[in-house]
Amino acid sequence: MSAVPTPRRKQRRVASAASRYTEKAIEALIYLCGLSAIAFIVAIFVFIGREGLGFLVTHLVEMLTSTDWSPTQDPPVFGIVALLAGTFWCVGLSLVFSVPVGLGAAVFLSEFAPPRLREGLKVIVELLAAIPSVVWGFVGVMIINPGLQAMGARIGLNGLNGAILLALMTLPLLVSLGEDALRAVPETYRQAAIAMGATRWEMVWRVLLPAARRGLLVAVLLGVGRCVGETMAVLMATGHSINIPKGPFDPVRTITATIAAELGETVRGDAHYQALFALGVLLFLITMAVNFVADFALRGRRTR
């Protein structure tokens, strides 16, 4: 039995001695590409940090205390309070809509929907996820904004418009991550609850939601991360006016929109250019933080 394969293997080895170097080369390449994701994350930070980190450090106080963003004035003022307010105003408003709807839909898909309806709804939600952000901006300008004005909003684009778009854009993420979190709850939990005489809703409310709490929280967190970084839709649909919003119908400007709108007009290396890269560093750090917190929360659940 063992006598037969051994000589063959030896033969093979001799025959492929030359190709073993090719194999080593290929495996080296695989290793290299495998680490490319790390390399790119580092490269992104290095390239935006090179232009923006110094500015961020030296101007941090000015940026975080002034509401005035006038980069082309003389002297320029780089206050980002209004931009931060615009960003989190839109994100916050969108969450008011997207969290209940998204997690509700996730519960429905995972616990209530019959299999066929479930598959159908999932296809549609995937479709929603595939729509490019520039098309959402288009929808905001061409469809939602006229609708809002018909309902009595001031003429012009506003923060609510952007918030509605962000909500629609994050729904697929909330639905699919929320459903994953619910499905990760062991079947025995459901059986135990039903055996105790709970109705389906009581099982969801008293057993599943508490058990899936961390996963659902992570879904919301990642949704926030996505919203904060969203660019085209808020650039096109929020009205592009730098102020601290006092109501949903005020026009606002976000951090992302500011970079997208102004980078084309700057000269490489001047303060304005560096300020926009500093905003990029800030965005990068915010999304990294969101991801690490989410990862930490998920890992905590696994080891528990």
Residues 1-30 that bind other proteins (CB under 8 A): 5, 8-9, 12, 20, 23, 26-27, 29-30
Rounded to the nearest whole angstrom, what is the least distance from the CB of residue 20 to other proteins in the complex? 8
**Residues whose CB is less than 8 angstroms from the CB of residue 89 and which lie 6 or more positions away in sequence, other chains included:** 159, 163, 245, 252
Q: Rounded distance, CA 139 to CA 236, Å? A: 10
Considering the rule CB under 8 A, would residue 86 count as an interface residue with other proteins?
Answer: no
Contact indicator for 219, 173 with CB cutoff of 8 Å: yes
Rounded to the nearest whole angstrom, what is the least distance from the CB of residue 85 to other proteins in the complex? 18
With b for 16 or more beta-carbon neighbours within 10 A and e for fewer, the 84-104 pattern comes to bbbbbbbbebbbebbbeebbe
Q: Rounded distance, CA 216 to CA 64, Å? A: 32
Please identify which residue in the block is written with the tokens 């709804």: 121
Rounded to the nearest whole angstrom, what is the least distance from the CB of residue 212 to other proteins in the complex? 15
Residues in region 171-230 near other proteins by CB under 8 A: 171-172, 175, 197, 199-202, 204-205, 222, 225-226, 228-230
Distance from CA of residue 234 to its chain's centroid?
A: 14
Rounded to the nearest whole angstrom, what is the least distance from the CB of residue 198 to other proteins in the complex? 9
Q: Rounded distance, CA 176 to CA 122, Å? A: 8
Q: Rounded distance, CA 73 to CA 215, Å? A: 47
Considering the rule CB under 8 A, would residue 296 count as an interface residue with other proteins?
Answer: no
Q: Which is nearer to other proteins, 143 or 247 (CB)?
A: 143
Q: Which is nearer to other proteins, 82 or 105 (CB)?
A: 105
Q: Which is nearer to other proteins, 161 or 231 (CB)?
A: 231
Q: Which is nearer to other proteins, 40 or 65 (CB)?
A: 40
Q: Which is nearer to other proteins, 77 or 142 (CB)?
A: 142
Identified binder of other proteins from the candidate list 17, 37, 150, 155, rule CB under 8 A: 37
Please identify which residue in the block is written with the tokens 């680490």: 35
Q: Which is nearer to other proteins, 15 or 61 (CB)?
A: 15
Considering the rule CB under 8 A, would residue 149 count as an interface residue with other proteins?
Answer: no
Q: Tell me the window of 55-63, 67-75, 80-88, 166-174 that interacts with other proteins (CB under 8 A).
A: 166-174
Contact indicator for 81, 156 with CB cutoff of 8 Å: no
Contact indicator for 62, 79 with CB cutoff of 8 Å: yes
Identified binder of other proteins from the candidate list 84, 163, 252, 290, rule CB under 8 A: 290
Q: Tell me the window of 69-77, 87-95, 109-117, 185-193 that interacts with other proteins (CB under 8 A).
A: 109-117
Q: Residue 75: left if φ>0, alpha if ψ -120 to 50, beta else—which one?
A: beta
Name which of 35, 61, 90, 49 is nearest 288 in CA terms: 49
Q: Which is nearer to other proteins, 60 or 124 (CB)?
A: 124
Q: Tell me the window of 57-65, 81-89, 101-109, 244-252 that interacts with other proteins (CB under 8 A).
A: 101-109
Identified binder of other proteins from the candidate list 21, 50, 70, 96, rule CB under 8 A: 50
Identified binder of other proteins from the candidate list 287, 293, 297, 301, rule CB under 8 A: 287
Identified binder of other proteins from the candidate list 105, 185, 218, 252, rule CB under 8 A: 105
Rounded to the nearest whole angstrom, what is the least distance from the CB of residue 79 to other proteins in the complex? 20
Q: Rounded distance, CA 164 to CA 248, Å? A: 11
With b for 16 or more beta-carbon neighbours within 10 A and e for fewer, the 152-183 pattern comes to ebeeebbbbbbbbbbbbbbbbbbbbbbbbbbe
